[in-house]
């Protein structure tokens, strides 16, 4: 895989899934975080759409977090070994990234407490409908049987970052819980999460 630089803030946010893909594979990349040395305002004109994360590959900047995640996952063989497996991975990823993640915006940044509360109710309802459907998609140890895919790493991130905000856990979903436990025990992921490289928020 080409040498890559990932640009984002020193938070988990929309870049953490990408960082975890690299961590899972034990692969090197340059994790550039905005701060005193590089300010987002100075970097913003270089971005394709004025937003981050941005992945720099061979001097070219690419945006959109899920597009980047899919690219990195594909480069590391985490999108399935056939077109149908890739379709399944995309289906599961979109069930979270398209149906649930956009609803979190108003939960976090809603202009009023009323907007935040209404958004939280909506995201909880959607998530509680989505999780049983995802549980049915697990085929063995992971979504694609014995092989970890982007879908599994996304579930791991979703469990760690989003579900706690909703007061939801995976206790009712043993197959999904097993995926999270397995990735929690992965040596590369454990090393990353225990390191100073992993943002604390």
Q: How far apart are CA 126 and CA 131, in angstroms?
A: 9
- Return the percentage of the chain with pLDDT > 90, whole number: 92
- Return the percentage of the chain with pLDDT > 70, whole number: 98
Residue that is written with structure tokens 């004109």 in the block? 45
Rounded mean pLDDT, 63-83:
98
* pTM score, whole prediction: 0.94
Given this model, what pLDDT does residue 200 score?
59
Phi then psi dihedrals of residue 5, to 5 deg: -120, 130
Residues 6+ apart with CB under 8 A from 168: 124, 127, 128, 131
Residue that is written with structure tokens 């398209």 in the block? 98
How does pLDDT run across 129-154, given as a tens digit for each residue? 999 999 999 999 999 999 999 999 99
Given this model, what pLDDT does residue 149 score?
98
How does pLDDT run across 157-197, given as a tens digit for each residue? 999 999 998 999 999 999 999 999 999 999 999 999 998 67
Q: How far apart are CA 49 and CA 52, in angstroms?
A: 8
How does pLDDT run across 25-55, given as a tens digit for each residue? 999 999 999 998 999 999 999 999 999 999 9
The pLDDT-based confidence of 2 (bands split at 50, 70, 90) is confident
């Amino acid at each position: 895989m080409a040498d890559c630089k990932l640009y984002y803030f020193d938070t988990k946010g929309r870049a953490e899934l990408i960082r975890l893909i690299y961590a899972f594979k034990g692969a090197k990349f340059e994790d550039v975080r905005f701060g005193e040395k590089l300010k987002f305002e100075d970097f913003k004109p270089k971005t394709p759409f004025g937003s981050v994360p941005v992945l720099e590959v061979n001097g070219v900047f690419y945006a959109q977090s899920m597009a980047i995640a899919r690219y990195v996952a594909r480069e590391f063989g985490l999108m399935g070994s056939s077109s149908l497996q890739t379709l399944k991975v995309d289906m599961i990823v979109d069930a979270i990234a398209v149906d649930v993640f956009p609803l979190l915006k108003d939960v976090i940044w809603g202009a009023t407490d009323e907007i935040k509360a209404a958004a939280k109710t909506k995201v909880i309802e959607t998530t509680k409908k989505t999780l049983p459907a995802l549980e049915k998609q697990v085929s063995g140890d992971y979504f694609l049987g014995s092989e970890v895919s982007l879908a599994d790493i996304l579930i791991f991130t979703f469990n760690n970052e989003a579900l706690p905000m909703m007061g939801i856990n995976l206790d009712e979903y043993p197959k999904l819980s097993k995926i999270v436990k397995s990735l929690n025990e992965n040596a590369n992921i454990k090393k990353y999460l225990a390191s100073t490289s992993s943002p604390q928020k």
